[in-house]
Amino acid sequence: MKYYGGIEAGGTKFVCAVSDENFEIVAETSIPTTTPEETLEHVFAFFDQYELVAMGVGSFGPIGIDPTKDTYGYVLATPKKGWAQYDFLGNLKEHYPGLPFAWTTDVNAAAYGEIKQGAAQGKNSCVYLTVGTGIGGGVVVNGEIFSGISHPEMGHIHVKRHPDDTFVGTCPYHNDCLEGLAAGPSLEGRTGIKGQDLPENHPIWDIQAYYIAQALMSYTLILAPEIIILGGGVMNQDHLLLKIRQQFVDQMNGYMETPEASEYIVRWGLPNKSGITGCLLLAADAAAKV
Ligand code: ADP
Ligand code: ZN
């Protein structure tokens, strides 16, 4: 039996899993993200118990993904203490010499998980967007994760302000980019109440839907993916999904023909597992390439 390792490396926690070759998870653990050294010590203690044939890593970013650059495998400009310019992949490879690795962003891994085994199964392309502590997106085109000079940063696009919204925004780089106006912390920033505790009839949800729908319209106009999948804690509000679909249709105003909104804009098919599933699938791809 072959075993694959997967690490969904988030800014809050690392989800580590080992699966068999049918992607059945045989062991899983969650490790709080502290310093790189301490976090990796726990990561190694977990994976050292298994004989792996490959490992897939989906990391919070931004990360270096260009193999021709010195920064390949690094976590780049993150405000997360100790992680900026940290050679994450290099340290993993040093501990597991010779092991094939796949290396991408957490959201790319989630997009890959969703197209292979989740809500985008059978499609050739998809966009995956998470709306949680931050906003980030990944793209699969022709069955492969899309990248260019770097990975996409779909959370930091600009959006038109809602006429009733005067909130300054939470993004440390841009204030009122999409992430600054619509990630989880913006809900609490405007109201003093955490997203999970806000009532369904609060007017903030219309503002929230207005921004997310604008972003989905931009992704649609630029990429025309076959399906858009929404993940992340904020999307646990079922009524929000309905509002986003309605706003999307209103804002598109018939310009571009898209599938029925209920089939085009959907929740994740692998709740809380899109990312780690993608990591394990990517590990299998890395093993197959050797
Ligand atoms: P992370 O992005 O850190 O991986 P999550 O996807 O769970 O984690 O996102 C956490 C954010 O989502 C927090 O800002 C939290 O307040 C918000 N959140 C969590 N659950 C809900 C909910 N049911 N409704 C609205 N917001 C929520
Ligand atoms: Zn930003």
Per residue, the 3-state secondary structure of 237-262, as one string, reads CHHHHHHHHHHHHHHHCCCCCCCCHH
The response to whether residue 275 sits with its C-beta less than 6 Å from ligand 1 reads no
Please give the average per-residue pLDDT across 258-285, as a whole number. 98
Q: How confident is the model at residue 264 (pLDDT cuts 50, 70, 90)?
A: very high
- pLDDT beyond 90 at 79: no
Give a yes or no: residue 283 inside a domain: no
pLDDT at 275 over 90: yes
| Average pLDDT of span 247-271 | 98
Average pLDDT over residues 234-260: 98
Q: Which of 30, 128, 234 to mutate for ligand 1's pocket (most ligand atoms within 8 Å of CB)? A: 234
The CATH number of the domain where 61 resides is what?
Answer: 3.30.420.40
Looking at per-residue pLDDT, the higher value among 79 and 27 belongs to 27
Residues 97 and 133 in one domain: no
Q: How confident is the model at residue 220 (pLDDT cuts 50, 70, 90)?
A: very high
* CB of 184 closer than 6 angstroms to any ligand 1 atom: yes
Look up residue 85 and give its two tokens: 């310019």
For residues 4 and 54, the answer to whether their CB atoms sit within 8 Å is yes
184 CA → ligand 1 middle, Å: 6
For residue 19, the model assigns a pLDDT of 98
Q: Is 6 in the pocket of ligand 1 (CB under 6 A)?
A: no
pTM for this predicted structure: 0.97
H and E: helices and strands count for the chain? 9, 10
17: domain range? 3-106
Residues 244, 127, single domain; the answer is yes
pLDDT of residue 215: 98
pLDDT of residue 243: 98
| SS3 assignment, position 136 | strand
CB proximity list for 273: less than 8 A, separation 6 or greater:
113
Tell me, using a 6 A CB cutoff, whether residue 239 lines ligand 1. no
Structure tokens at 52: 């792996």
In 3D space, the residue among 118, 127, 102 whose CA is nearest the CA of residue 274 turns out to be 118
Ligand 1 pocket member 236 (CB < 6 A): yes
- Encoded amino acid at 27, one letter: A
Q: Which ligand is nearest to the CA of 241?
A: 1
User: In terms of domains, do 146 and 250 share one?
Assistant: yes
Of 288, 268, 290, 289, the C-alpha closest to 109 is 268
Q: 1: pLDDT confidence band, cut at 50, 70 and 90?
A: confident
* Residue 182 token pair: 């619509």
Neighbours of 114 (CB within 10 A): 30
pLDDT 10s digits, 189-216: 999 999 999 999 999 999 999 999 999 9
Contacts of 155 (CB under 8 A, 6+ apart): 134, 135, 136, 137, 177, 178, 179, 183
Residues 172 and 59 in one domain: no
Distance 231 CA to ligand 1 centre (A): 10
Give how many domains the chain has, as a whole number. Answer: 2
pLDDT tens digits along 107-163: 999 999 999 999 999 999 999 999 999 999 999 999 999 999 999 999 999 999 999
Are both 18 and 133 inside the same structural domain?
no
- Alpha-carbon distance 172 to 264, whole Å? 32
172-192 mean pLDDT = 97
Note whether residue 273 is domain-resident: no
Q: What integer best gives the mean pLDDT of the chain?
A: 97
Residues 91 and 128 in one domain: no
Residue among 170, 194, 229 to mutate when testing ligand 1 (max atoms within 8 A of CB): 194
pLDDT band at residue 270 using 50, 70 and 90 as cut-offs = very high
The answer to whether residue 28 scores a pLDDT higher than 90 is: yes
Nearest CA to ligand 1 atom 19: 233
**Are 136 and 79 in a shared domain?**
no
Nearest CA to ligand 1 atom 22: 196
For ligand 1, atom 13, the nearest C-alpha belongs to 184
Backbone angles phi and psi of 119, in degrees to 5: -70, -15
| Percent of all residues in the chain with a pLDDT value above 70, rounded to a whole number | 100
Query: Can you give the pLDDT at residue 213?
Result: 98
Query: In angstroms, what is the span from residue 16 Cα to ligand 1's centroid?
Result: 20
